[in-house]
């Protein structure tokens, strides 16, 4: 029995990869339009939900010009 995550990634088709990356691009566009910079975008900060839907997490390093530090 293999690792579920590894097995799932190894079965990615080009169509699924494009779907995932388009979601990442849409999320970054949303952040950009709201003047938010994530500053810590990496695979560990992308959660995968059912059907390969994604959520960006860990905004601890994020920057927004209206939020004081």
Partners of 48 in beta bridges: 54
pLDDT along the chain (69 residues), means of 10: 56 89 95 91 91 90 80
- Catalytic, 40? Answer yes
Which element (helix H / strand E) includes 47?
strand 46-48
Question: Given this model, what pLDDT does residue 1 score?
Answer: 43
Which listed residue (20, 37, 40, 46) is catalytic? 40
């Amino acid at each position: 029995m293999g690792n579920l995550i590894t097995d799932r990634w190894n079965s990615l088709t080009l169509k699924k990869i494009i779907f995932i990356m388009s979601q990442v691009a849409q999320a970054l566009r949303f952040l950009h339009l709201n003047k938010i910079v994530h500053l810590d975008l990496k695979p560990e900060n992308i959660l995968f939900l059912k059907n390969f839907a994604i959520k960006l997490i860990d905004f601890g390093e994020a920057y927004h010009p209206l939020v004081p530090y």
